[in-house]
Structure 1
Amino acid sequence: MSEALIPRQPDAPPAVYDAATLAVLAAMEKAADEHLDRNIPNNTKRGYANDWRLWEEFHDWLAERTGHRMPSTAVTRGNLVGFVVWLDTIKFAAPTSIDRRITGVTVTARGLGVEVPKRATEAARKALKPLKHDPERMARGRGKAAAVTPEQLRQMNAAVADGLAGLRDRALWLMAFGVAGRSAEVAELRAESIVHVSQGLEVHVPAVKGRPPRDVVVSYGKNADTCPVRAWLTWRAAAGITAGPAFLPIDVWGHLSNRALSPEAVREIIARNAERAGVAVRLTGHSMRSGFITTSRRAGKREEKIREQSGHAENSPAFWGYIREADKWTDAASEDIGL
């Protein structure tokens, strides 16, 4: 019936609309975009933004090796497969995470008007398929993060790279430890909100992902190699930072960016430095946070003071799990019972 009413006209010229019709159509397109955007959960939007930041970091990595920075909108079969290999071999990402990154990059690119060939995403997932059959790769990122110890922090300090990047990395992981910070919180720290006083540092930890902000103090450490205060002051002076993001990306030529590091970059810096130092366990961004809590508890600090530093709720199962781990050998039930 419809074919009879509207016969097919393959050679017909495109429809021409008047200005008023074009204005209405444009408004409808904008309204459709806004409606679809509102339907995307905020967590998904944040995830896509993180995926795109990693995609840009991959392009930066490529530029260091090829001498040419391709535009981030170059989403091709070769680039997507290379992205999968980079995430697997450089970032040590779990295959499930890589799968999500492919989706995030593809969706973001299409939102920017880039036409991503279907063969590109198919090739990327074909490269990913054997990784999903590797038990060791699938186990990446699972389980509770290992809590870093002061001894391991000293081990990392002894192996830290020379130059500006090394100063930043050491200040970053010691600040993460000192404020018991999540990677997202460390990424959002501002230089002007880290105030040097005679006793150490007064640090404003900003609100991240709906969690309330908090103000904490970081005391001078007795060991210069693991003192967050000295590490921060050294990095701040070397980088010439007075305001803005506390920790910045540094390119291969030692040039500072003016944007903040991403939470993923914070985690990668910690993991990379721990691996370089030969730390026996795999450390992650959360290792600094859990390490502070267990170390502080073993030093006899009160639970409420530790919670003020970490920002945990009083009834947080995660917090009390850290406390139980720290107290495991304190007055152990099997100690001094006549055996």
Structure 2
Amino acid sequence: MDGSLEKLTQGVPAEIRAAWAARHGEAAAERLAAAEDFADAMKEATTPPNTTDTYSKGWKVWQRFCAEQGLPETEGTRGALVAYVAWMLDRGRATPGRDGGRGYAPTSAHSHLTAAIVGLRERGRPVSKDAHSEARARLEGVATQLAKAGERRGRGKAAAADLDSLHRIAAACDGSPTGRRDLSLILTGFHFASRASEVSGLLLADITVHARGIKVAVVTGKTKRSVRTVAIPYNNDEPEICAVRAWQQWCEIYGRTDLTAAAFPRIDRWGHIGGAMAPDSVTNAVTRVARRAGVPIRWTGHSLRSGLATEGRKNGKDPVNIAKQGGWAPGSKAMLGYMQLADEWDDNAAAGLRRSGGQ
């Protein structure tokens, strides 16, 4: 992308181009239109693929709703968006969920609503703030009613990885290539509070060994803060769950010297090593290894991310440093939610209450 505005395309609606031409002349209107196209190209180039995929899937849900209701898909009016929210929570799923129902979980409905609003804006039909706010308010209202009725939809928050379970996993992983890879993947991912997509995107060049541990360059983060380089020190107190030692043992078996190779590749049942694991494969590996090790609560790929925040809080780590390690913004609601898992018993307002004066 060279920043040139010479090429004019048809991304700007004709009525807007005409208004620009009336105000500033045809030449200036062409330059403004080309600048809009360039901005769109910049956005596309810098938007993470998983975000683009989420918006694409969400737009298809909006299209299904509009087709079913006989509404134009390029009109995000207040009424249409409120009806969309009600439809999603009632019967929006194309196939039944795990509970047998066709209504989306509120979190999924929220994501699809956002995707519809983004899609409308991209198509030159921005949604008014009032319409947007009304739809979100109705979604939150229905979500509250569902919670009061005891109805639970979706998978809920991922179970947080904990140190006791990491020890179980370390004991269950053997010395085979798959066993060494799995242990290194889980311990490394846990210690930098990884998303599955971040583990999937790591190359050998991204993990470097230093005198006091390893450094992990996370270049596939979803946000500015999650693109980061973090240090993981040796754990000499509990070497069984030391991410540095696990990484070194995996590298000895892996044996690759090409630094552009995947840090955690696929391995088939015969031990053949392939290319990078997809994010879903990372999640499946975490779930499989935890289940095999006898971890009582089902782990997902996100368990590693929530686990570091939870265990870091239990061990008295500074929330600012936890945020840096995991690529959260300071005061992130998601991070604080994970920390509450540690605080609900240890820092409970109802714990240890006693009468003043020792009576």
| Category of TM-score, reference length = shorter chain | 0.5 to 0.7
* Identical pairs, percent: 38
CA contact (8 A) 2:193 2:308 kept: yes
Distance 1:236 1:48, change over 3 A: farther
Q: Which range moves more in the overlay, 205-214 or 285-294? A: 205-214
2:285 aligned residue? 269
- Secondary structure of the residue aligned to 1:185 is helix
1:148 paired to 2:161: yes
> 2:197 aligned with 1:184, yes or no?
yes
Distance in 1 (alpha carbons) for counterparts of 2:325 and 2:280: 22
User: What residue number does 2:271 align with?
Assistant: 254
- The alignment partner of 2:302 has SS state of helix
Aligned to 2:83: none
Contact map agreement 2:99 2:153 (CA 8 A) in 1:
no
Aligned AA for 1:175? T
**Whole-Å separation in 2 of the counterparts to 1:237 and 1:307:** 32
Report the Cα distance in structure 2 between the residues aligned to 1:49 and 1:277, rounded to whole angstroms: 37
CA distance in 2, matches of 1:289, 1:220: 19
Where does the alignment leave 5 or more consecutive residues of structure 2 unmatched?
Answer: 1-43, 62-93, 106-151
In structure 1, which of residues 208, 216, 224 is the aligned counterpart of residue 230 of structure 2? 216
Aligned with 1:145: secondary structure?
coil
Paired amino acid for 1:214: R
- 1:317 matched residue in structure 2: 333
* 1:202 CA displacement: 1.3
Please report how far the alpha carbon of residue 228 of structure 1 lies from its aligned counterpart in structure 2 after TM superposition.
0.4
Please state how far the C-alpha of 1:318 moved relative to its aligned partner: 0.6
How many residue pairs get matched?
221
SS of the equivalent of 1:157 reads: helix
Letter in 2 for 1:165: T
**Deviation readout 1:244-285 (Å, 9 max, x if unpaired):** 21000012221111x211110110000001111121100011
C-alpha separation in 1, matches of 2:95 and 2:283:
25
Contact residue 204 and residue 262 of structure 2 kept, 8 A = yes
* Residues 1:175 and 2:175 aligned together: no
Structure 2 CA distance for partners of 1:326 and 1:132, relative to 1, 3 Å:
closer
Gaps of 5+ in 1: 1-37, 51-95, 97-127
Q: 1:300 to 1:246 in 2, by over 3 A?
A: same
Answer with 299-308 or 211-220: which moved more. Answer: 211-220
Return the alpha-carbon distance in structure 2 between the equivalents of residues 49 and 197 of structure 1.
42
Per the TM alignment, residue 327 of structure 1 is displaced from its structure 2 partner at its CA by 2.3
* Structure 2 residue matching 1:278: 3-state secondary structure: coil
C-alpha distance in 2 between matches for 1:329 and 1:207:
35
Q: Supply the AA of the counterpart residue of 2:256.
A: I
Tell me the amino acid that sits aligned with residue 241 of structure 1: R
- d(CA) in 2 for partners of 1:318 and 1:303? 12
Structure-2 change in CA distance of 1:182 and 1:129 (3 Å): closer
| SS, match of residue 196 in structure 1 | strand
Instruction: Tell me, in whole angstroms, the C-alpha distance in 1 between the residues paired with 2:298 and 2:153.
Output: 10
Match of residue 246 from structure 2: 231
User: Structure 1 residues 47 and 255 mapped into 2: Cα distance closer, same or farther (>3 Å)?
Assistant: farther
User: Which residue of 1 is the match for residue 297 of structure 2?
Assistant: 281
* 2:214 aligned counterpart, secondary structure: strand
Q: Deviations over 1:43-92 (max 9, x none)?
A: 58646999xxxxxxxxxxxxxxxxxxxxxxxxxxxxxxxxxxxxxxxxxx
Superposition TM-score, scaled by structure 1 size: 0.59
- Partner of 1:291 in structure 2? 307
Going from structure 1 to structure 2, the CA distance change for 1:141 and 1:151 (only over 3 Å counts) comes to farther
Instruction: Indicate the residue corresponding to 2:82 in structure 1.
Output: none
In the alignment, the residues of structure 2 paired with residue 235 and residue 185 of structure 1 have an alpha-carbon distance, to the nearest angstrom, of 18
RMSD of the alignment, in Å? 3.0
